């Protein structure tokens, strides 16, 4: 479990996170949703300590990350895996070497054991054998994402972070990646946190959803609770998404009193 208490982060005096308090649960896919530029990536990088936060606590099962010394942080990072938005595979290494890299850094395995483990993980994400020796630039975006997931899970992490796992992917590949993340999460009881602005993913894999707007976590709940939310910003976000047309009817039928504006057909104007 990861507990955030009043997390603040600013860059050059501009406050991006203005006091986020929320909680992420093990064995669940926890989603951080919000518009582009709302600070999802900053929040995720603050969580893993890539950004130093200005104020607040980030408790990993009780251990406060911002207060950690370098050694402790390194030990904690051994329990983390991260899938970056652009995959961030090292382009000077082959796919297999990329996946072996965290093992080289953190484990005392022999080369053979490392290679076996890397091959197992690449198999787990259904990457074809023939791509193992290729360089990241030689495989497709979807395959890069899968290789990056394999790299993220190779150390058997307790915490898995995914920043927009299906950005730049076609709908089918997106669904495959989403399901892969969810099944890995449940299989290994990982505390998984996924950044997304894609409502399709939200409906597909969201167990615990945190909505970020203007630097605050303004809403938290489950997929089902999304339908009955009274948070106007969140509703605008949902309406403006691709699922808007399907959901609008359901909303209007189910909760006509909550959405007077959608009844008259007026759309929120500032949602993108």
Partner 1 sequence: MFIRNFLATIGRYCLLMYRVFAVPDRWRMTLRQTLLEMENLGLNSLGIIIIISLFMGAIMTIQIKLDMDNPLLPAYTTGLATRDTLLLEFSSTIMCLILAGKVGSNIASEIGTMRITEQIDALEIMGVNSANYLIWPKIVAFVIMMPFMVIVSMTLGLLGGYAVGLSSDIITVAEYQEGIQFSFMSYYVFYSIVKSMVFGFIIASVSAYYGYYAYGGALDVGKASTNAVVNSSVFVLLSDIVLTNFMLA
Ligand X SMILES: Nc1ncnc2c1ncn2[C@@H]1O[C@H](COP(=O)(O)OP(=O)(O)O)[C@@H](O)[C@H]1O
Interface map 79-118 toward Mg ion (x if CB under 5 A): ----------------------------------------
Token pair of 270 as six digits: 């500032």
How many residues appear in the chain?
A: 272
**Positions that interact with ligand X (CB under 6 A):** 11, 16, 34, 36-42
Q: How far is the CB of 42 from Mg ion (least distance, A)?
A: 8
Q: How far is CA 121 from CA 34, 85, 136, in A?
A: 31, 20, 16
User: What does the angle CA 35 – CA 197 – CA 54 come to, to the nearest 5 degrees?
Assistant: 55
Q: How far is the CB of 164 from Mg ion (least distance, A)?
A: 6
Residue 86 interaction partner, one of Mg ion, ligand X, partner 1, none, beta carbon < 5-8 Å per kind: partner 1
How far apart (Å, rounded) are the C-alpha atoms in residues 23 and 185? 17
What residues between 40 and 59 interact with Mg ion by CB under 5 A?
41
Q: How far is the CB of 217 from Mg ion (least distance, A)?
A: 16
**Positions that interact with partner 1 (CB under 8 A):** 45, 48, 50, 74, 77-78, 80, 82, 84-86, 88-91, 101-102, 105-106
How many beta carbons lie within 10 A of that of residue 183, not counting itself?
Answer: 13
Q: How far is the CB of 206 from partner 1 (least distance, A)?
A: 24
CA within 13 Å, CB half, 130: 2
């Amino acid at each position: 479990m990861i507990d955030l208490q009043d997390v603040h982060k600013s860059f050059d005096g501009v406050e991006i996170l203005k006091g986020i308090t929320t909680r992420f649960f093990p064995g669940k896919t926890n989603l951080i949703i919000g518009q582009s530029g709302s600070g999802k990536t900053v929040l995720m990088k603050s969580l893993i300590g890539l950004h130093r936060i200005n104020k607040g606590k980030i408790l990993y099962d009780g251990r406060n990350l911002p207060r950690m010394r370098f050694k402790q942080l390194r030990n904690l990072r051994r329990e983390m895996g991260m899938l970056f938005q652009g995959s961030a595979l090292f382009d000077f290494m082959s796919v297999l070497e990329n996946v072996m890299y965290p093992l080289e850094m953190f484990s005392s395995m022999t080369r053979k054991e490392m290679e076996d483990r890397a091959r197992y993980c690449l198999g787990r994400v259904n990457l074809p054998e023939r791509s193992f020796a290729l360089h990241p630039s030689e495989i497709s975006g979807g395959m890069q994402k899968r290789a990056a997931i394999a790299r993220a899970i190779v150390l058997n992490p307790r915490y898995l972070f995914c920043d927009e796992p299906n950005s730049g992917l076609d709908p089918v590949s997106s669904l495959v990646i989403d399901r892969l993340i969810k099944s890995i999460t449940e299989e290994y009881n990982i505390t998984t946190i996924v950044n997304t602005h894609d409502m399709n993913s939200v409906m597909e894999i969201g167990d615990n959803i945190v909505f970020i707007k203007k630097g605050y976590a303004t809403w938290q709940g489950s997929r089902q609770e999304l339908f009955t939310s009274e948070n106007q910003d969140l509703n605008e976000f949902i309406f403006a998404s691709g699922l808007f047309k399907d959901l609008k009817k359901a909303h209007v039928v189910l909760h006509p009193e909550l959405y007077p504006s959608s009844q008259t057909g007026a759309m929120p104007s500032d949602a993108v």
